[in-house]
């Protein structure tokens, strides 16, 4: 499929609306993260996330709310969590939401570490997910790499830093709802150089031996605020 088809948008698409959706989504992730406390179940966190998004003005999403605690952070997107897991006093968790704001899709995810006595590797893991994202983004900016090549680079970069990349979660299109009308595959399958303002770069990594991981995602933009 050529770039014209892969990067097609609808008549209501606008970059300002997409940037507004990005800002609102990032704010929602931050607010949800601040409300998640030790002792909670993921179901309880999901409930407060839904309440937060509704209060902010998004009553529906283009993908499910995903909140993972502790050992569930190594699971792939479609996998079910272990429902017996509750957030501990010193722990790691991540949030992944895909809200729709006035007809435009948002998508955001970030990792949080709580507790002064949390495993230092948890903080390193959360930081490394953002580090890999930034290194891949810089490669996108400085080269003509395709989506597939970017994820090959991401896998090599992650391994070089001592982590393991989840190659089952490898980016996608975004835009005016529904982007799936134009392209429903992953960024890692794209054989073109991705244009800015259209593609989500997802990075999910895990510790090579310990049962936890981290997640970060954002739009591929030529400049980040």
Domains of the chain, by residue range, sit at 3-219
pLDDT at 12: 86
How many Cβ atoms from other residues are within 10 Å of residue 27's Cβ? 13
CA–CA separation, 27 and 10 (whole Å): 26
Q: Which residues of the chain have pLDDT under 50?
A: none
pLDDT at 220: 98
Say which CATH class 3-219 falls into: alpha beta
pLDDT at 225: 58
Any residues with CB less than 8 A from the CB of 208 and at least 6 apart, and which? 162, 163, 164
Indicate left, alpha or beta for 5 from its phi (over 0: left) and psi (-120 to 50: alpha): alpha
């Amino acid at each position: 499929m050529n770039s014209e088809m892969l990067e097609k948008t609808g008549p209501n698409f606008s970059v300002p609306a997409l940037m507004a959706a990005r800002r609102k989504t990032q704010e929602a992730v931050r607010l949800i993260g601040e409300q998640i406390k030790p002792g909670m179940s993921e179901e309880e966190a999901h409930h407060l996330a839904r309440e937060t998004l509704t209060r902010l003005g998004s009553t529906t999403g283009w993908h499910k709310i995903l909140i993972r605690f502790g050992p569930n952070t190594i699971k792939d997107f479609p996998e079910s969590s272990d429902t017996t897991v509750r957030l501990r006093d010193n722990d790691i968790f991540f949030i992944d939401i895909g809200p729709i704001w006035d007809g435009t899709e948002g998508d955001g995810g970030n990792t949080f570490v709580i507790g002064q006595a949390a495993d230092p590797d948890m903080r390193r893991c959360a930081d490394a997910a953002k580090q890999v994202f930034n290194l891949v983004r810089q490669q996108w900016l400085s080269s003509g790499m395709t989506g597939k090549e970017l994820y090959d680079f991401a896998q090599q970069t992650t391994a070089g830093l001592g982590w393991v990349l989840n190659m089952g979660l490898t980016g996608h299109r975004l835009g005016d709802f529904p982007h799936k009308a134009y392209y429903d595959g992953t960024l890692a399958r794209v054989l073109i150089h991705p244009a800015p303002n259209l593609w989500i770069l997802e990075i999910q990594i895990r510790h090579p031996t310990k049962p936890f991981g981290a997640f970060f995602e954002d739009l591929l933009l030529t400049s980040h605020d």
